[in-house]
Amino acid sequence: MFFGLIIPKMKKVIYQVIYHILKPLVAILHRKAVSFDEFSQIAKKLFVAVAEKQLREAGERPTNSRISVSTGLTRREVAQLRQTSSESLLASTRINRGLRVINGWMTDAEFSAEAGLPVQGDKGSFEALVNRYSGDIPYRAMLKELCASGVVMLDDAGDRLSLLDNAYIPQQSDEERLVLMGQDVSLLLQTIDHNHQHERGEAYYQRKVSYDNLSLEAVLVFRQMAREESHALLLKFNQWLAQHDRDSNPDMQGKGKNRYRAGVGIYYFEEPLPAQNKAEGPEEKG
């Protein structure tokens, strides 16, 4: 039986990692009424897709038999899963376009009016901003979305728009918030995976600091400080990236080779702990 086997030390560590990663995810799936069978089918599809990709990269032929051996699935399951089309679970065009509009407002000199932007107009208006940075989304639809998100505000006359916040985070759509979660967690795991496979000199930046014997009063102060300081740092990064992004800065068109995505993500965490825990010093990873 499986439970009578001696599990190698590395396997034990991997099982613990899987458990801790999946625990918050399963809580979300349970809350959203996603069954284990649905989750299992997605996991199987991913196992097959990853195995096929890695075999191709190694110059080997990704047959059903080879994929079956590496994934533990039957050849019949592999064949069925390879014939199943993969839907884009992270289709986030609307979110990305909202971000582009806000970035354009902040970095494009044509839209830098301190008094805000007129809603309509061929130049220097919110309509022109959306036409330039959001593709085919009508400016009225984008206006409704950004107003609902609390990022912009119309004046009393309804013909001039002010930028209230330089960070677009969907507020109304639970679906969009879930899409962002999928993107952010995926990127963090990609960074951790990269660092696991590379020496320190080639590792991506990955750090965290935490203490575990803080009072509630200290946590409330730190929560606000972390929000303000992190926001200021991200704005600095955003300005630099926007200047070098070929979509955001027309002057960069045609410059450089290939196409890369790069960025920095910051997240805050807190949780109540038993009172007897001792203080923990700064912790670094990577």
Out of 84-93, 215-224, 267-276, pick the least confident. 84-93
Distance, in Å, from the CA atom of 214 to the CA atom of 279, rounded to the nearest integer, reads 8
Looking at the DSSP assignment, which residues form a beta bridge with residue 161? 117, 154
Structure confidence at residue 286 (pLDDT) = 45
Write the pLDDT tens digit of every residue in 14-38.
Answer: 889 899 989 989 998 888 878 888 8
Tokens representing residue 169 in the block: 């985070």
Pair 19, 46 in one domain: yes
Write the pLDDT tens digit of every residue in 113-131.
Answer: 677 899 999 888 999 999 9
Distance, in Å, from the CA atom of 218 to the CA atom of 46, rounded to the nearest integer, reads 43
Give the number of other Cβ atoms within 10 Å of residue 78's Cβ: 25
Write the pLDDT tens digit of every residue in 54-80.
Answer: 999 999 999 999 999 999 999 999 999
Please give the DSSP secondary-structure letter assigned to residue 207: B
Residue 196 lies in a domain: no
Comparing 57 with 88, which gets the higher pLDDT? 57
Pair 67, 8 in one domain: yes
Give the number of other Cβ atoms within 10 Å of residue 50's Cβ: 13
* Domain final residue, candidates 83, 116, 148: 83
Pair 258, 285 in one domain: yes
Residue range(s) defining the domain that contains residue 60: 2-83
* Domain final residue, candidates 130, 163, 196: 163
Pair 224, 263 in one domain: yes
Q: Is 50 exceeded by the pLDDT of residue 112?
A: yes
Structure confidence at residue 90 (pLDDT) = 38
In DSSP notation, 43-75 reads: HHHHHHHHHHHHHHHTT----HHHHHHHH---H
Residue 191 lies in a domain: no
Pair 118, 76 in one domain: no
* Domain final residue, candidates 60, 83, 106: 83
Please give the DSSP secondary-structure letter assigned to residue 284: B
Q: Which amino acid is at 187?
A: L
Residue 179 lies in a domain: no
Q: Is the pTM of this model over 0.85?
A: no
Residue 74 lies in a domain: yes
Residue 259 lies in a domain: yes
Tell the burial category of 282 from Cβ atoms under 10 Å away from its Cβ (0-12, 13-18, 19+). Answer: exposed
Pair 285, 237 in one domain: yes
How many independent structural domains does the chain possess? 3
Structure confidence at residue 134 (pLDDT) = 80
Tokens representing residue 277 in the block: 């825990």
Residue 136 lies in a domain: yes
Structure confidence at residue 88 (pLDDT) = 39
Residue 70 lies in a domain: yes
Angle at 175 (CA atoms; ends 26, 151), nearest 5 degrees: 125
Pair 224, 258 in one domain: yes
Residue 188 lies in a domain: no
